[in-house]
Amino acid sequence: ALRYHSGWEKAWASPEPKKRYDVIVVGAGGHGLATAYYLGKVHGIKNVAIIEKGWLGGGNTGRNTTIIRSNYLQDPSAAIYEKARSLYEGLSQDLNYNVMFSPRGLLMLAQSEHEMRGYKRTVYANNLQNVETRWIEPKEVKKLVPILNIAGPRYPVLGALLQEKGGTARHDAVAWGYARACSDMGMDLLQNTEVTGVRTEGGRVVGVDTSRGSIDCGKLAIVVAGHSSVLAGMAGFRLPIESMALQAWVSEPIKPTIDVVVMANLVHGYMSQSDKGELVIGGGTDGFNNYSQRGSWHHVEETTRALIETFPVISRLKMLRQWGGIVDMTGDRSPILSKTPVDGIFVNCGWGTGGFKAIPGSGFAMAELVAKGYSPLAAEFGLHRFKEGQFIDESVAAGVAH
């Protein structure tokens, strides 16, 4: 500020596109950037471009409610989400960029007998998967979150699944940290550059067409969340993905009120408090497929109304702003990290309503898949599972209503 905001060093370069890259990653969200980062860091592949039609982190990565946890049910999910959570622990040091990881604890409230049984089952599964979660009784829930009304009458809190190592991180810092590290390795970040076509020859990818001209590549990683089907269409194959809007909103800032993250999945709401003091609140997806990257009044009203019994304080708060992102849903609510019918093209998508928490683990696995053609962490998330019926059902663990 003393220099009148002049002379700041740019965090990453904005170069002109080269004619050819060994790997092109489409999509500079968290997953695309992390893929590029681990390609360079772990596999030494640095002739890489990350192509982004807007600004980096401007998709779902910069629009989510930043909840990080790894309390999924199935073994392949526990493995990749727990890898991600553990990488988050050291991410600020690894990137030398403060991603403000805050393992403040994550609660999933049980507000029906059915949920209680479900979360207890998840705790048993997590204990076998080396994911630390535990079941806590209503008294301990109330101690952790004094503003909670646990008495009901309609939705009493019967207990909760607690993941003490869950929490939040600053979403855009995650994108910015990875972006700066990629740029420092000599990779090209091409913002405001839309991929408009995918070129193939003899069943193999040779390059992409973009709003800044054609660029050749050896391999192509499509990591574009809600636009995955659009990119797959350009390459000539289909994906089992539906896109729809998911939205979130924040209240006016208030004094520190709640220092854990709470998900109340029965009433389709979740809440945490940001460092600025705003209560960060979200609900379920739109009930129909769409590409509209914005919020809508009925969701704000319905979710806030539903949360009021459990969090009476919010009845007296003004809501400040709302926004939305386009999430990429699979039928089993698990992601896709996969080779595709086109040689040299890989996809990473289907993270739907829950991929922020997965960014480091997903990037790590995707980089391995792209570099070596196989990644143990990604193996069960291939497209083959939709043909073979090997679904990884996480519709409950996803937590968010769809």
Residue 354 near ligand PYC by CB under 6 A: yes
With a CB cutoff of 8 Å and minimum separation 6, the contacts of 333 are 352, 354, 393, 394, 395, 397, 398, 402
Which residue from 60, 77, 273, 338 is in contact with ligand FAD, where contact means CB under 6 A?
60
Interface characters, 147-176, with ligand FAD (x: CB under 6 A): ------------------------------
Which residue from 21, 23, 25, 30 is in contact with ligand FAD, where contact means CB under 6 A?
30
Asked whether the CA dihedral 117, 119, 123, 124 is positive or negative, the reply is positive
Secondary structure letter of residue 393 according to DSSP: -
- Chain position whose Cβ is nearest to ligand PYC: 354
Residue 31 near ligand FAD by CB under 6 A: yes
Judged by beta carbon distances under 5 to 8 A according to partner kind, the member of ligand PYC, ligand FAD, none in contact with residue 21 is none
Stretch that binds ligand PYC, among 63-71, 181-189, 304-312, 342-350 (CB under 6 A): 63-71
Residue 223 near ligand FAD by CB under 6 A: yes
Shortest spacing between CB 82 and ligand PYC, in angstroms: 14
Shortest spacing between CB 167 and ligand PYC, in angstroms: 11
Residue 263 near ligand FAD by CB under 6 A: no
Which residue from 45, 67, 91, 336 is in contact with ligand PYC, where contact means CB under 6 A?
67
Interface characters, 178-217, with ligand FAD (x: CB under 6 A): ----------------xx----------------------
Residue 117 phi, psi (nearest 5): -60, -45
Please check whether residue 187 is in contact with residue 24, taking contact to mean a CB–CB distance below 8 angstroms: no
Which residue from 50, 80, 123, 248 is in contact with ligand FAD, where contact means CB under 6 A?
248
With a CB cutoff of 8 Å and minimum separation 6, the contacts of 277 are 253, 254, 255, 256
Shortest spacing between CB 256 and ligand PYC, in angstroms: 21
* Alpha carbons 246 and 291: distance in angstroms, whole number: 10
Instruction: Name the residue among 339, 219, 220, 353 with its Cα closest to residue 286.
Output: 353
Residue 162 near ligand PYC by CB under 6 A: no
Angle CA(110)–CA(116)–CA(117) in degrees, nearest 5?
155
Judged by beta carbon distances under 5 to 8 A according to partner kind, the member of ligand PYC, ligand FAD, none in contact with residue 26 is ligand FAD
Residue 361 near ligand PYC by CB under 6 A: no
Instruction: Name the residue among 170, 176, 182, 35 with its Cα closest to residue 99.
Output: 170
Please check whether residue 217 is in contact with residue 21, taking contact to mean a CB–CB distance below 8 angstroms: yes
Helix or strand or coil: residue 174?
helix
- The two tokens of residue 226 are 């809600």
Which residue from 270, 311, 346, 364 is in contact with ligand PYC, where contact means CB under 6 A?
270
Helix or strand or coil: residue 145?
coil
Which residue from 40, 105, 207, 282 is in contact with ligand FAD, where contact means CB under 6 A?
282
49/150 with CB nearer ligand FAD: 49
Secondary structure letter of residue 102 according to DSSP: B
Residue 99 near ligand PYC by CB under 6 A: no
Residue 57 near ligand PYC by CB under 6 A: no
162/371 with CB nearer ligand PYC: 162
Q: Which neighbouring-strand residues pair with 68?
A: 167
For 342-377, give the DSSP string: SBTEEEEE--TT--GGGHHHHHHHHHHHHHHS--TT
Q: What share of the chain is helix, strand, coil (3-state, %, to 5)?
A: 30, 25, 40
Residue 27 near ligand FAD by CB under 6 A: yes
Residue 340 near ligand FAD by CB under 6 A: no
Please check whether residue 324 is in contact with residue 294, taking contact to mean a CB–CB distance below 8 angstroms: yes
69/339 with CB nearer ligand PYC: 69
Residue 26 near ligand FAD by CB under 6 A: yes
Instruction: Name the residue among 153, 65, 57, 64 with its Cα closest to residue 106.
Output: 65
Instruction: State the residues that interact with ligand PYC by CB under 6 A.
Output: 65, 67, 69, 270, 282, 353-354, 399-400
Instruction: State the residues that interact with ligand FAD by CB under 6 A.
Output: 26-32, 51-54, 58-61, 63-67, 194-195, 223-225, 227, 246-248, 282, 325, 327, 351, 353-357
